[in-house]
Amino acid sequence: MIGVFDSGVGGLTVLKSFLDFLPQYDYVYLGDNARVPYGNKSQETIYNYTKQAVDFLFARGCKLIIIACNSASAKALRRIQQDYLPLKYPGQKVLGVIRPLVEEIVSENNLRSKKDRINKVGIIGTKATINSEVYCKELIKLDPTLEIIQQAAPLLVPLIEEDWSKKPETKMILKKYLRPLKVRGVQTLILGCTHYPFLLKYIRRLMGKKCLIFDPGVSVARSLMAYLSRHPELAIEKTAKPNYFFYTTDSTEHFKELGEKFLGQKIEKIEKIEL
């Protein structure tokens, strides 16, 4: 069983790709909707929230957890992997969403000719993700020649959680966030929050055809496929009739309505829990 954790509904953009690319596995999704957004909270708070989510998902029988939240991946993942897991869950694995997207962009660049190479990379994300500079650090490790331009977009997550992704107010705010990146001529844009693919079509339209924008969920799904093939010792087995369980720390009705709309399928097994 594979666990997927996010501060709210944003991780559904990752789960949707998992169900497209790896539908034969059992999944448990946990959305901490009662405490969303994480992006404006302190590092210690995000770490403690992430620990609680990890405890919950391992207690439900997950053998691998994907932190489908950029803020938690940026502010808590390394500490979870290096300090918490060896102490409490030796041999268990928790992965994030940042490295797969970085690797895909650099891999794409390596396939291009010199004149077509990506030189300017734009990043939008929550304040926590942008302030951590985690994408900058990971990109520079793999390609120190890149020019990186960041833009915090703190209002987008609450708007998406309220199902305002198609409202004109949301599009107006998004346009304001993207304008500095477009003016600077970024050639690819990283959606540094798993909520943002809810706005993917409009983001692509605003940035134009010359700006490459990957779907983060697809990047993470491809990375997970490769990871599972390299780690058979995890013994995560496929099943002919997979089960998908959903948990939220807030209203199940709101989560179900928004989740079904995005996933394009019924959410049958959902429960409200406290962390």
Report the 10 Å Cβ neighbour count for 44. Answer: 11
Is 62 annotated as catalytic?
no
Cβ-Cβ contacts under 8 Å for 239 (sequence gap 6 or more): 24, 25, 26
Is 136 annotated as catalytic?
no
Angstrom CA distances, 105 to 83, 87, 132, 190, stand at 29, 34, 19, 9
Integer Cα distance of 53 and 30 in angstroms: 7
Measured CA angle at 275 (ends 250, 23), to 5 deg: 75
Give me the residue label for tokens 């596995």.
Answer: 25
Cβ-Cβ contacts under 8 Å for 112 (sequence gap 6 or more): 118
Angstrom CA distances, 199 to 157, 182, 265, stand at 11, 17, 19
Strand-pairing partners, residue 123, are: 150, 190
Q: By three-state DSSP, how is residue 3 classified?
A: strand
Integer Cα distance of 175 and 202 in angstroms: 9
The catalytic residue among 62, 69, 136, 211 is: 69
The catalytic residue among 62, 136, 193, 211 is: 193
Radius of gyration of the chain (CA): 18
Angstrom CA distances, 16 to 10, 44, 68, 225, stand at 10, 30, 12, 14
What sign has the CA pseudo-torsion 190, 194, 195, 199?
positive
Catalytic sites, residue numbers: 69, 193
